[in-house]
């Protein structure tokens, strides 16, 4: 495996060592702490024992030898050894514990990270070190969903309304040396606004959601905000006027997630009823019509993510059975064909984020998995398992950090253990056919099947034991039903 194409034979660890001092110095504020390399190694003892029992194929061992181990003081660690990829490193750079209760939602916008929780305070943090910049005080709390677009932040609340806030960027705060400020610019629905007769005729329940607003998506070109609710409906809002322009009964149970394809305006929704549905706007109108229902297995669907590249469009859904199903869009017909599923999580998948060719999944089993799809195929590789949380991972947000030779990501995760963590991840580009051949050789030598996808099947061993709190394990064993909201 020739790495000269990424620089003068520099390894991924060498890039990490260069920023070690700057990373440690930026994390000096109180209540912030690093996850040391020693503690990470303790979390990975299980994988090391498995490696001693069953050594990997020589080709994989050779791949690992190309990246020397970090120094004992380094916070960086290789991905867990039960996965065949040496191309990813990660570490937890910040871990916070707040007294606001469980964090339900996370959003990223222009150098700021926003967290919504059970309280009525929406907190703002600076990227990437998560220094707190202030908070927004709303009339009521239980902020289940958040969405940031430009300088506008949308939040949903316990009163089943959505509020829109104008917020300043992180650079503006630094320039003016001012404290974070936000201004409320709208409440949806606004008082006295009208509602279309057409939507009433379709069985919609008026402008007001009757239950928790659990998810939101924004269609940039149309200026439309989509809100999904536990009242089984999806509502469509014209942001410029604050009017509800459409409302439809989307599912037979709680709507858990909604996403929009920014290329064509298609809307995807998922529900506890186990289905994923695809909706399109009627040409020349504001109403929406159902075009396709995706239902591969009878398990509640908790999360959706859309992966768009120049050559492909993939839809991912996370279910309570622990599987992540995915569909690929046909270029000619526009139909979505089921491509397979990703297997690895032990309990329900609660949140998903897709960025570039990577998929991040947070689970009830307390772990975050990082998956990479191979270009031009259905093959997905599990690059890493992040397992520092001690409760179910409820929400994720990811931002991209472009670098010259490696691709960097900042991952923000919130758990029911009431902690908020920030991870920095570095991923080397795919190394071509030599690496691919090594991965296929390793998969053929494994005895257990992992992902199934068309003609390409990933064969991996998922022997990882997450660090679960004893009280959570006891509760899970006593509860025969998967965790919902």
Q: Give the H or E element holding residue 223.
A: none
For 210-214, what is the mean pLDDT? 94
Q: Give the H or E element holding residue 109.
A: strand 103-109
Distance, in Å, from the CA atom of 193 to the CA atom of 186, rounded to the nearest integer, reads 12
Q: What pLDDT score does 391 carry? A: 93
For 108-127, what is the mean pLDDT? 92
Q: What pLDDT score does 99 carry? A: 72
CATH number for the domain spanning 213: value is 2.130.10.10
Q: How confident is the model at residue 230 (pLDDT cuts 50, 70, 90)?
A: very high
Distance, in Å, from the CA atom of 105 to the CA atom of 311, rounded to the nearest integer, reads 31
For 355-370, what is the mean pLDDT? 94
Is residue 482 predicted with pLDDT exceeding 60? Answer: no
Domain termination residue (choose one: 71, 90, 109): 90
Q: What pLDDT score does 262 carry? A: 94
Give yes or no: residues 273 and 311 share one domain.
yes
Per-residue CA distances from 55 to 328, 382, 395, 396, 462 (Å): 36, 19, 35, 34, 15
Is residue 310 predicted with pLDDT exceeding 80? Answer: yes
pLDDT exceeding 70 applies to what percent of the chain? Answer: 66
Domain termination residue (choose one: 41, 68, 90): 90
- Does residue 398 sit within a domain? no
Q: Which of 39-53, 138-152, 178-192, 368-382 has the lowest mean pLDDT?
A: 39-53
Distance, in Å, from the CA atom of 476 to the CA atom of 347, rounded to the nearest integer, reads 10
Q: What is the mean pLDDT of the chain?
A: 76
Is residue 273 predicted with pLDDT exceeding 70? Answer: yes
Q: How confident is the model at residue 225 (pLDDT cuts 50, 70, 90)?
A: very high
For the stretch 42-87, pLDDT in tens is 433 443 343 333 333 333 333 333 344 444 555 666 655 444 567 8
Cβ atoms within 10 Å, residue 112: 22
Distance, in Å, from the CA atom of 235 to the CA atom of 185, rounded to the nearest integer, reads 20
Is residue 438 predicted with pLDDT exceeding 70? Answer: no
Q: Which of 423, 427, 429, 386 is nearest to 408 (CA)?
A: 427
Q: How confident is the model at residue 179 (pLDDT cuts 50, 70, 90)?
A: low
- If one compares 61 and 290, the residue with the highest pLDDT of the two is 290
Give yes or no: residues 54 and 115 share one domain.
no
Per-residue CA distances from 16 to 65, 83, 143, 383, 400 (Å): 17, 21, 36, 17, 16
Give yes or no: residues 55 and 147 share one domain.
no
Is residue 5 predicted with pLDDT exceeding 90? Answer: no
Is residue 476 predicted with pLDDT exceeding 80? Answer: no
Give yes or no: residues 211 and 126 share one domain.
yes
Instruction: Map tokens 């990246």 to a residue.
Output: 67
- Does residue 441 sit within a domain? no
Is residue 141 predicted with pLDDT exceeding 50? Answer: yes
Is residue 26 predicted with pLDDT exceeding 80? Answer: no
Q: Which of 66-70, 264-268, 280-284, 323-327 has the lowest mean pLDDT?
A: 66-70
Give yes or no: residues 268 and 296 share one domain.
yes
Cβ contacts of residue 81 below 8 Å, gap of 6+?
44, 47, 48, 50, 51, 56
Distance, in Å, from the CA atom of 369 to the CA atom of 453, rounded to the nearest integer, reads 18
With vertex at residue 67, the alpha carbon angle to CA 443 and CA 4, rounded to the nearest 5 degrees, is 95
Residue 366: left (phi > 0), alpha (psi -120 to 50), or beta?
A: left
Give yes or no: residues 295 and 377 share one domain.
yes
Is residue 325 predicted with pLDDT exceeding 80? Answer: yes
- The DSSP-derived string for 197-210 is HHHHHTT---SS-S
Domain interval for residue 35? 4-90
Give yes or no: residues 156 and 30 share one domain.
no
Is residue 35 predicted with pLDDT exceeding 50? Answer: no
Give yes or no: residues 49 and 14 share one domain.
yes
Q: Which of 398, 427, 420, 418 is nearest to 410 (CA)?
A: 398
- Does residue 434 sit within a domain? no
Q: Which of 79, 72, 86, 83 is nearest to 20 (CA)?
A: 72
Domain termination residue (choose one: 90, 118, 146): 90
Distance, in Å, from the CA atom of 74 to the CA atom of 90, rounded to the nearest integer, reads 11
Per-residue tokens: 271:
């529900």
Is residue 2 predicted with pLDDT exceeding 70? Answer: no
- Does residue 303 sit within a domain? yes
Is residue 373 predicted with pLDDT exceeding 80? Answer: yes
Q: How confident is the model at residue 449 (pLDDT cuts 50, 70, 90)?
A: very low
Q: What pLDDT score does 429 carry? A: 78
Cβ atoms within 10 Å, residue 261: 18
Cis status, amide bond into 128, omega within 30 of 0: yes
Is residue 255 predicted with pLDDT exceeding 80? Answer: yes
On the CB side of 419, CA atoms within 13 Å amount to: 19
Q: How confident is the model at residue 421 (pLDDT cuts 50, 70, 90)?
A: very high
Is residue 477 predicted with pLDDT exceeding 70? Answer: no
Give yes or no: residues 184 and 206 share one domain.
yes
DSSP state of 435: H
For 236-263, what is the mean pLDDT? 95
Q: What pLDDT score does 29 carry? A: 36
Per-residue tokens: 14:
């060498």
Give yes or no: residues 112 and 82 share one domain.
no
* Domains of the chain: total: 2
Edge-to-edge strands, sheet with 146-149: 146-149, 152-156, 162-167, 182-188
Instruction: Map residue 479 onto helix, strand or coil.
Output: coil
- Does residue 181 sit within a domain? yes
- Does residue 211 sit within a domain? yes
- Does residue 310 sit within a domain? yes
Instruction: Map residue 237 onto helix, strand or coil.
Output: strand
pLDDT exceeding 90 applies to what percent of the chain? Answer: 49
Distance, in Å, from the CA atom of 367 to the CA atom of 384, rounded to the nearest integer, reads 10
| Pairing between β-strand 224-229 and β-strand 213-219 as defined by DSSP bridges | antiparallel
- Does residue 327 sit within a domain? yes
Per-residue tokens: 439:
């991965």
Q: What pLDDT score does 3 carry? A: 37
Give yes or no: residues 125 and 29 share one domain.
no
Q: How many helices (H) and strands (E) does the chain have?
A: 9, 31
Q: What pLDDT score does 295 carry? A: 83
Give yes or no: residues 110 and 85 share one domain.
no
Q: How confident is the model at residue 175 (pLDDT cuts 50, 70, 90)?
A: low
């Amino acid at each position: 495996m020739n790495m000269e194409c990424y620089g003068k034979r520099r390894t991924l660890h060498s890039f990490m060592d260069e920023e070690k001092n700057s990373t440690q110095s930026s994390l000096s504020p109180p209540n912030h702490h690093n996850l040391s390399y020693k503690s990470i190694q303790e979390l990975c003892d299980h994988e090391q024992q498995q490696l001693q029992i069953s050594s990997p194929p020589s080709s994989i061992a050779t791949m690992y030898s190309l990246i020397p181990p970090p120094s004992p003081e380094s916070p960086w660690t290789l991905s867990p050894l039960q996965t065949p990829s040496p191309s990813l490193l990660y570490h937890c750079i910040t871990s916070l514990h707040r007294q606001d209760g469980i964090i339900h939602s996370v959003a990223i916008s222009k150098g700021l990270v926003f967290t919504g929780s059970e309280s009525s305070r929406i907190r703002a943090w600076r990227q990437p070190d998560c220094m707190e910049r202030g908070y927004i005080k709303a009339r009521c709390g239980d902020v289940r969903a958040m969405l940031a677009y430009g300088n506008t932040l949308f939040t949903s609340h316990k009163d089943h309304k959505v509020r829109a806030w104008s917020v300043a960027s992180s650079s503006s705060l630094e320039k003016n040396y001012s404290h974070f400020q936000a201004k409320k610019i709208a409440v949806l629905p606004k008082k006295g606004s009208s509602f279309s007769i057409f939507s009433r005729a379709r069985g919609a329940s008026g402008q007001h959601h009757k239950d928790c607003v659990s998810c939101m998506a924004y269609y940039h070109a149309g200026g439309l905000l989509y809100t999904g609710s536990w009242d089984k409906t999806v509502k469509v809002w014209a942001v410029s006027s604050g009017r509800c322009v459409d409302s439809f009964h989307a599912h037979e149970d709680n709507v858990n997630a909604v996403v929009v394809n920014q290329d064509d305006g298609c809307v995807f929704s998922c529900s506890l009823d186990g289905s994923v549905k695809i909706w399109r706007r009627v040409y020349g109108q504001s109403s929406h019509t159902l075009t396709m229902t995706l239902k591969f297995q009878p398990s509640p669907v908790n999360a959706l993510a859309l992966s768009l590249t120049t050559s492909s469009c993939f839809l991912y859904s996370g279910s309570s059975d622990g599987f992540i199903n995915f569909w690929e869009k046909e270029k000619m017909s526009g139909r979505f064909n089921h491509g397979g599923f990703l297997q690895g999580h032990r309990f329900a998948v609660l949140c998903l984020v897709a960025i570039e060719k990577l998929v991040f999944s947070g689970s009830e089993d307390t772990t975050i998995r990082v998956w990479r799809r191979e270009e031009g195929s259905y093959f997905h590789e599990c690059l890493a398992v992040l397992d520092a949380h001690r409760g179910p991972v409820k929400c994720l947000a990811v931002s991209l950090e472009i670098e010259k030779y490696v691709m960097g990501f900042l991952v923000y995760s919130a758990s029911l253990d009431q902690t908020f963590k920030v991870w920095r991840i570095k991923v080397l580009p795919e190394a071509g056919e030599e690496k691919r051949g090594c991965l296929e050789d390793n998969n053929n030598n494994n005895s257990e099947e992992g992902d199934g996808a068309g003609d390409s099947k990933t064969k991996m061993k998922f022997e990882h034991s997450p660090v679960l709190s004893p009280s959570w394990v006891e509760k899970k064993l006593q509860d025969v039903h998967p965790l919902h909201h």
